[in-house]
Amino acid sequence: MSFLLLAFCTVLGVCDFPATRGVLERFAGKENAAKFTFVKSDGEAVVDAADGKICVRAPSENLASAALGRYIRELAKGHFSRQGNRVPKVWPLPSAPLKVERSRPQLHAYNYCVFSYSFAYYDEQDWRANIDRLALSGYNTALVVTGNSRVWQLFLRDAGFSEKQISDYISDEVAISWTNCGGLETLGAPVPNEAIEREARVGRFIVREMRALGIEPMIQGFTGLLPGSARQVLTKEKYPDARLLEQGLWAGTYTRPILLDATTKTYSQLAKLWYRRLFEVYGISDPKYFVGNLFSEGGIASEVNCPAIAAAIQREQQRAVPGVTWCISCWGPAPRQDLINGLDPSHARIIVLDRNMANGGKFPRSFGPFTWVWGELLNFGNNDGIYGGYDALANLHRHAEGADGKTLVGYAAESEGIDTNPWFYELFTDLVFRPNLLRGRGAAEAWLKDYALRRYGTDDARLVEAMEILKGSIWHVDRIQEGCNESVVCARPAWNVRKASAWATDRPLYYNPSDVENAARRYHAVAIERPDLLALPTFRFDYVDLVRQVLSDRANSLVPRLKEKSAQKKFLALIEQMDELLACDDNFRLDVREAKIRRVAGERGVRAFRRMLTTWTAGTVSPLNDYAHRQYSGLLSGYYAKRWQAFFDEPEHSKETLDRLAREAPTTALPVRPRGDLLALAARLIGR
């Protein structure tokens, strides 16, 4: 395109990508956005210079946003993440065209759990920032289940359920994820109608804003899961051929929703009701993707003709939206092979959730003719902990090799929580666009140096050295385990405790804690010389998180000596030190998080959030307890320290006290610590 035509299009605005320009203005301000021109063009996306401006040329809004994100990170050395942005001070004209293309066509975001662990009580402003980051990172599909409670409410009314049966079924905002994927019902019920309607408004906003940026939402299909009260509603008089199948318990704790046989006329009747309400709530009638899982993490299939049920579900999806693709999560043994056998591969896709962070680039299961997406699963429960995955990312390109590589259509960010380890997600999306990024001698070190410059505005050698230490240590996982090595500080007290949650590893650390301490000291040395960096959210988060990990590892190392009074004293002191440290950054302050929740959902929301962090199950004795624990200032000193103190005081008779503290956790008043002097505190904790 000539400079003259480019200038003409710019004046008229006819070639501009308005949604992408909005993302840029929110990130960098209108003055900086004025330095850019956006032009629609055929072919690949390119960022180059034209008529003294930075020109983003792309065939679609989505690729325009992805190209803008690549420019911000690679040429302007800026940064955007959930743990802070850094807006560039200089916006250079490209000296050569920057071509932007995904190595595979699909880049997908989110699994069910993240909507409860990271996104519960999000408002439109929160989601606007989320969607902006997705667009700049190049994602073009994303799961959307915010608002699904309203779909359930309207659908169940249509099907003949009473208002009480409906309100008893719909779980609250921090548990609804597991109702949607078939694990439980009723947890946190009843949810006020105004909260359900608020979530529906937010869900509709999410879908509208995603689509404006070319991010296609995946919304919930009807798989036949229903409230247990369906036995009283789907009677022979109203639904003569209804066949309901019990699904047993989830996590050994909760009764799963009941399953309606999809081969019946009743299923077809209800499916039509579901899709009508689904489209009404989200404001669309032409989704490209449905999601929905069966028999995930268990579920009884002994009386089920899986191939026939799968075919019937898919048939109703095609009636609702011809050509739609059913996306099914692969986690553990799900989806069952006999279920897959009943599907038409041309209208189904498998999204893999892979917890193997030592991955060599080969997923052990093959899906034959079905297209599939490889997804990382770095984080479980949104738990705090520096964790690896470097090897899984360094070998990402190998999933595209071999016979299964022919059906690989993309990659996915599938972590249960995404509030930790920002380096991982940045490298992940970098590799989707530049698969050769880490190949060759010195390539990894070059990326770390570039990442430091983007995230902190400096590539100080000590920061790069620190990350190189982490890359060879805590970022380098040499075995399969479910997330980070957890802090015993958050565990229910016991003399031989090794972890906080049931499914986490209890094996010895795979890394040397002194490596983390050495990395933290390098950050500290830089902070002493450059205290201005402490005002940068990106640096401050990483600095606090490193010191937090040091203290967590120190606490873990005391476990073999906990019967000694001196070790107990040190252990409790470490909890207080962690609490004091984390009070220095809003990302780690419980009072800050709860204040936001209180504005959205009042004390009901705060109680639900606190329940998730502590008992998870509203006090039930269950392997789910302590699963979603966090290291937050206020929670550490006001809850975890009290548990350990009670145990140390009466180790043989502490059960009653520990149970009481758990029951009271959702409503207990917790201390609010003032923000301290981070630099002075870190000097005291890890020295110079």
Residue-wise pLDDT for 510-554, tens only, equals 999 999 999 999 999 999 999 999 999 999 999 999 999 999 999
User: Which stretches of 105-173 are assigned E, i.e. beta strand?
Assistant: 106-109, 141-143
Q: How far out from the chain centre does Cα 414 lie?
A: 6
Q: Which of 667, 644, 609 has the alpha carbon at shortest distance from 492?
A: 644
Residue 108 has pLDDT above 90, yes or no: yes
CA distance 503 to 476: 21
Distance CA 598, CA 399 (A): 44
pLDDT at 688: 57
- In this prediction, residue 636 carries a pLDDT of 98
186 has a pLDDT exceeding 70: yes
Are 119 and 194 in a shared domain?
yes
CATH number at residue 220: 3.20.20.80
Torsion angles phi and psi, residue 422, rounded to 5: -60, -30
pLDDT given at position 4: 45
Residue at which a domain ends, from 401, 430, 456 = 456
CB-count exposure of residue 133 (10 Å: 0-12, 13-18, 19+) = buried
Q: Which residues contact 21 (CB under 8 A, 6 or more apart)?
A: 33, 36, 38
451 and 471 fall within a common domain:
no
- Does residue 9 carry a pLDDT above 80? no
Q: What pLDDT, on a 0 to 100 scale, did the predictor assign at position 13? A: 42
Residues 309 and 193 in one domain: yes
Distance in angstroms (rounded) separating the CA atoms of residues 392 and 448: 16
Q: Which residues have C-beta within 8 Å of that of residue 422, sequence separation ≥ 6?
A: 81, 82, 83, 455, 538, 541, 542
Confidence of residue 10 (pLDDT cuts 50, 70, 90): very low
- At 1 the pLDDT is 41
Residue 451 has pLDDT above 90, yes or no: yes
Give the confidence band of 111 by pLDDT, cuts at 50, 70, 90. very high
The count of domains in the chain is: 3
Residue 2 has pLDDT above 60, yes or no: no
Q: Over the stretch 585-615, which tens digit does the pLDDT of each residue have?
A: 999 999 999 999 999 999 999 999 999 999 9
- CATH number (domain holding residue 90): 3.30.379.10
Residues 325, 608: Cα–Cα separation, whole Å? 34
Predicted pLDDT at 245:
94
Residue 59: C-alpha distances to residues 64, 214, 395 (Å): 8, 11, 30
CA separation (Å) from 327 to 107, 355, 370, 373, 429?
14, 19, 11, 10, 21
Among 100, 133, 167, identify where a domain stops: 100
Provide the pLDDT for residue 414.
98
Strands 371-376 and 348-354: parallel
What average pLDDT does range 223-234 have in this prediction?
98
Measure Cα distances from 150 to 198, 218, 260, 376, 539 in Å: 9, 16, 21, 30, 40
3-state SS of 233-251?
HCCCCCCCCCCEECCCEEC
In angstroms, rounded to a whole number, what is the distance separating the alpha carbons of residues 193 and 201?
12
The sign of the torsion formed by the CA atoms of 120, 123, 126, 130 equals positive
String of DSSP letters for 83-101: T--B--S--PPPSS-EEE-
Average pLDDT, the chain: 95
Give residue 14's pLDDT.
46
Give phi and psi for 248, each to the nearest 5.
75, -155
Same-domain status, 401 and 542? no
How far, CA to CA in Å, does 325 sit from each of 152, 241, 274?
Answer: 22, 28, 17
The C-alpha angle with vertex 410 and arms to 405 and 415, in degrees rounded to 5, equals: 120
The mean per-residue pLDDT over the stretch 650-657 comes to 95
CB neighbour list of residue 328: distance below 8 Å, 6 or more residues apart: 291, 292, 293, 335, 340, 348, 349, 350, 351
CATH of the domain at 584: 1.20.120.670
Q: Quick one: tokens of 31?
A: 């003055």
Q: How far apart are the first and last CA of the chain?
A: 57
**Beta-strand relationship, 106-109 and 408-413:** parallel
Does residue 103 surpass a pLDDT of 50? yes
Return d(Cα 628, Cα 612) in angstroms, integer.
6
Answer yes or no: do 52 and 84 share one domain.
Answer: yes
For the stretch 45-96, pLDDT in tens is 999 999 999 999 999 999 999 999 999 999 999 999 999 999 999 999 999 9
Is the pLDDT reported for residue 407 higher than 70?
Answer: yes
Look at strands 289-291 and 216-220 and give their pairing: parallel
Mean pLDDT of the 224-228 span? 98
Residues 90 and 138 in one domain: no
Residue 653 makes CB contacts below 8 A (sequence gap 6+) with none
Check pLDDT > 90 for residue 298. no
For residue 510, give the DSSP letter.
S
Q: Please determine, for residue 211, whether its predicted confidence score (pLDDT) is greater than 90.
A: yes
Q: Are residues 436 and 547 in the same domain?
A: no
For residue 15, name the pLDDT band (cuts at 50, 70, 90): low
User: Is the domain of 13 the same as that of 117?
Assistant: no
In sequence order, the 6+-apart residues with CB closer than 8 A to the CB of 334 are 293, 294, 295, 296, 297
Write down the pLDDT at residue 302.
Answer: 82
DSSP-assigned letter for residue 473: T
Same-domain status, 434 and 512: no
Q: Is pLDDT of 8 > 90?
A: no
Same domain? For 276 and 411 the reply is yes
For helices 461-471 and 443-456, what crossing angle results, to 10°? 120
* Token pair belonging to 589: 């302050």
Query: Do 422 and 375 have their domain in common?
Result: yes
Q: Are residues 479 and 623 in the same domain?
A: yes
Q: What is the CA radius of gyration of the chain?
A: 25
Residues 6+ apart with CB under 8 A from 35: 53, 54, 91
Closest alpha carbon to 106 in 425, 350, 391, 310: 350
CA distance 613 to 670: 14
CB 63 within 8 A of CB 100: yes
Domain's final residue, options 82, 100, 118 = 100
Q: Please check whether residue 227 is in contact with residue 179, taking contact to mean a CB–CB distance below 8 angstroms.
A: no
Q: Is the pLDDT of residue 3 over 80?
A: no
User: Domain range spanning residue 631?
Assistant: 461-686
Asked whether the beta carbons of 551 and 581 are under 8 A apart, the reply is yes
Alpha helix ranges (H) inside 342-493: 390-394, 402-405, 422-433, 443-456, 461-471
